[in-house]
C-alpha cells in the first residue's frame, strides 16, 4: 500500500470510529484528557509607605545651616535617617514652614531657604504636606512659591494648589501602585465670618486652594474631606493616605475631635492616616470601619527636625519624632489589601556645638544608636535613651521598628 493510500485509510477509520482502541474485554477504552493545571495564585505586591512629622526651621537653625559660600545647606540634618527614608516605596513628611523667599525667618512667621527642599528630596522623600497652620505665614505669594520651589526640587506637594484647575490632592506611584495623598489642616477660630489660619484671614480667592476645615461647622467641612477621598479613588488611586494637621500642642494624648475625624476618614475610605501638629508624639491605633479593613492611625508624629528643646518648651518630648512605616500586601487584580503592618521608628533631634556653631542631626533610635556619630560628638546618649524609653512606654516594644 502506498503512503497516500495509507493516509486515506487512516482518515476513513477515524471518521467512522474504526480507529478506537479496545481494552482486554473488547470494549472501547475511555478517552483520556490532559490534567487541567490550576491557575497560579496571585502574588501580592509589597508596598512600604513611610511618613515623618514636622520639618521646621527656627531662627537658630538658620544660623546653624549657613554654608561657607553664603548659602544654606540642610543635608547634615537628615544624614542618619536617609537610609530608612530611601528604603520606603513612598516617603512623606510635613513641611511646616514656607519657602517664601528672603528674608528668611523662624517663628512666628516661617520662611526657609529653598535648599531645604533640596535636602528633603536628597534624603529620599517623595512628597511634602503643605497643609498646616503656617502655610500662610508669607501670604498668598508664599503659598504659591512654596509649591513652586518644592516641585522644582522634585517633590510632590499636597494640601494646597496653585489654581482650581489643579487637583486638590495628588496621586503617586509606589511599587507600581497608585497611592492618593489627601491632606487637610485645622483652621484657627473665625473672625466674624472670615476663616483664618493662625489668625491670618483666608481670602475668598485662596479658600479653594487650601485644604482646611474649621471647628465651627466640622461636619460640613469634613464633607470636603469625604469628597476628596472619593475623588482620588475615582481618579485611579488604589490606596488612599490621609494626613491631618490637628490636635492640641504639647499634649501626648489625642483629643476626641482627632478620634472623630480619623474615624470618619476611615469610613470614607482612607487606608492609612498620618498626622502632626502637637509637636510631641502621640499614640497609634488600628480602626476597623468595616469587616476585613484595618486602618492604622498615627495621631501625632511629633517634630522631625526643629529647635524646640526641653530648655525652651519645658518638655523633652518636643525633641522627639517618629518615622511611621506601614507595610501593605496588595492584590492588584481585586484591589484588596490583604495585610497591613505598622511600626514606628523613634527619632531624636540632637543639638550640639562644633566649631563655634550649633549642629542639628536627626538620630534614629534603633540598633546601636548610642554609637551614632552625632551622639558620640555631643555626649547626649542618655538624653536620646530617655526618648527611646518614652516611646517604648507609649507604643510597646512590639510596635517599634527593628532592623
User: 23: Cβ–Cβ under 8 A, 6 or more apart, which residues?
Assistant: 29
pLDDT at site 36: 63
Q: Averaged over 116-142, what is the pLDDT?
A: 98
Dist CA 229 CA 168 (whole Å):
10
pLDDT at site 42: 87
pLDDT at site 365: 97
Closest to 89 measured CA to CA, from 238, 225, 232: 238
Q: Averaged over 2-6, what is the pLDDT?
A: 37
CB 238 within 8 A of CB 179: yes
Dist CA 286 CA 265 (whole Å):
13
pLDDT at site 41: 79
List the CATH code of the domain at 45-399. 3.60.21.10
Could you read off the pLDDT of 244-297 as tens digits, one per residue? 999 999 999 999 999 999 999 999 999 999 999 999 999 999 999 999 999 999
Is 86's pLDDT higher than 60?
yes
Dist CA 296 CA 234 (whole Å):
23
Could you read off the pLDDT of 36-64 as tens digits, one per residue? 666 677 899 999 999 999 999 999 999 99
3-state secondary structure (DSSP) of residue 336: strand
Closest to 158 measured CA to CA, from 244, 238, 74, 88: 244
**Which long-range CB contacts under 8 A does 145-152 form with residues at least 24 apart?**
145/98, 145/99, 145/100, 145/101, 146/95, 146/98, 146/99, 146/100, 149/99, 149/114, 149/117, 150/95, 150/99, 150/117, 152/117
User: CA angle, corner 66, sides to 61 and 71, nearest 5?
Assistant: 130
> What is the four-CA torsion angle of 201, 195, 114, 228, rounded to 10 degrees?
-160
Mean pLDDT of the chain: 91
User: 96: Cβ–Cβ under 8 A, 6 or more apart, which residues?
Assistant: 54, 55, 56, 110, 132, 134, 276
Residue 16 host element (H or E): helix 3-16
pLDDT at site 330: 95
CB 210 within 8 A of CB 82: no
Task: Kindly state the DSSP code that residue 90 receives in the 8-state scheme.
Answer: E
CB 72 within 8 A of CB 65: yes
The whole-model pTM stands at 0.89
CA 139 to chain CA mean position, Å: 26
> pLDDT class for 403, splitting at 50, 70, 90?
confident
Dist CA 58 CA 56 (whole Å):
6
Could you read off the pLDDT of 331-353 as tens digits, one per residue? 999 999 999 999 999 999 999 99
Could you read off the pLDDT of 28-37 as tens digits, one per residue? 444 556 666 6
> What is the four-CA torsion angle of 94, 99, 100, 103, rounded to 10 degrees?
120
Cell representation of residue 126: 517623595
Q: Averaged over 136-162, what is the pLDDT?
A: 98
CB 224 within 8 A of CB 268: no
CB 275 within 8 A of CB 159: no
Tell me if the bond preceding 400 is cis, omega within 30° of 0. no
Amino acid at each position: 500500500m502506498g503512503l497516500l493510500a495509507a493516509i486515506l485509510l487512516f482518515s476513513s477509520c477515524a471518521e467512522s470510529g474504526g480507529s478506537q482502541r479496545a481494552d482486554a474485554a473488547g470494549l472501547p477504552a475511555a478517552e483520556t484528557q490532559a490534567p487541567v493545571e490550576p491557575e497560579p495564585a496571585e502574588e501580592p505586591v509589597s508596598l512600604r509607605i513611610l511618613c515623618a512629622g514636622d520639618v521646621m526651621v527656627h531662627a537658630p537653625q538658620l544660623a546653624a545651616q549657613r554654608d561657607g559660600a553664603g548659602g544654606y545647606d540642610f543635608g547634615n540634618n537628615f544624614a542618619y535617617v536617609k537610609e530608612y527614608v530611601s528604603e520606603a516605596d513612598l516617603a512623606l513628611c510635613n513641611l511646616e514652614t514656607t519657602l517664601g523667599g528672603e528674608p528668611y525667618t523662624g517663628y512666628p512667621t516661617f520662611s526657609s531657604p529653598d535648599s531645604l527642599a533640596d535636602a528633603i528630596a536628597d534624603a529620599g522623600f517623595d512628597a511634602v504636606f503643605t497643609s498646616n497652620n503656617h502655610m500662610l505665614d508669607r501670604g498668598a505669594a508664599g503659598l504659591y512659591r512654596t509649591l513652586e520651589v518644592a516641585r522644582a526640587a522634585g517633590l510632590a506637594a499636597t494640601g494646597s494648589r496653585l489654581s482650581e484647575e489643579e487637583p486638590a490632592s495628588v496621586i503617586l506611584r509606589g511599587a507600581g501602585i497608585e497611592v492618593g495623598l489627601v491632606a487637610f489642616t485645622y483652621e484657627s477660630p473665625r473672625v466674624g465670618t472670615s476663616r483664618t489660619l493662625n489668625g491670618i484671614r483666608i481670602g475668598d480667592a485662596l479658600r479653594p486652594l487650601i485644604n482646611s476645615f474649621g471647628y465651627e461647622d466640622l461636619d460640613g467641612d469634613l464633607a470636603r474631606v469625604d469628597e476628596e477621598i472619593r475623588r482620588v479613588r475615582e481618579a485611579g488611586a488604589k490606596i488612599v493616605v490621609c494626613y491631618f494637621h490637628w490636635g492640641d500642642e504639647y499634649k501626648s494624648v489625642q483629643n476626641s475631635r482627632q478620634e472623630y475625624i480619623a474615624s470618619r476618614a476611615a469610613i470614607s475610605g482612607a487606608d492609612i492616616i498620618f498626622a502632626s501638629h502637637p509637636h510631641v508624639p502621640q499614640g497609634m491605633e488600628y480602626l476597623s470601619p468595616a469587616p476585613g479593613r484595618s486602618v492604622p492611625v498615627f495621631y501625632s508624629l511629633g517634630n522631625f527636625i526643629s529647635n524646640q528643646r526641653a530648655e525652651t518648651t519645658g518638655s523633652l518630648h518636643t525633641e522627639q519624632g517618629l518615622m511611621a512605616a506601614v507595610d501593605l500586601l496588595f492584590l492588584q487584580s481585586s484591589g484588596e489589601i490583604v495585610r497591613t503592618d505598622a511600626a514606628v521608628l523613634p527619632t531624636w533631634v540632637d543639638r550640639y556645638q562644633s566649631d563655634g556653631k550649633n549642629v542639628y542631626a536627626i538620630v534614629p533610635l534603633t540598633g546601636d544608636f548610642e554609637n551614632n556619630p552625632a551622639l558620640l560628638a555631643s555626649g547626649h546618649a542618655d538624653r536620646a535613651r530617655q526618648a527611646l524609653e518614652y516611646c517604648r512606654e507609649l507604643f510597646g516594644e512590639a510596635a517599634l521598628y527593628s532592623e
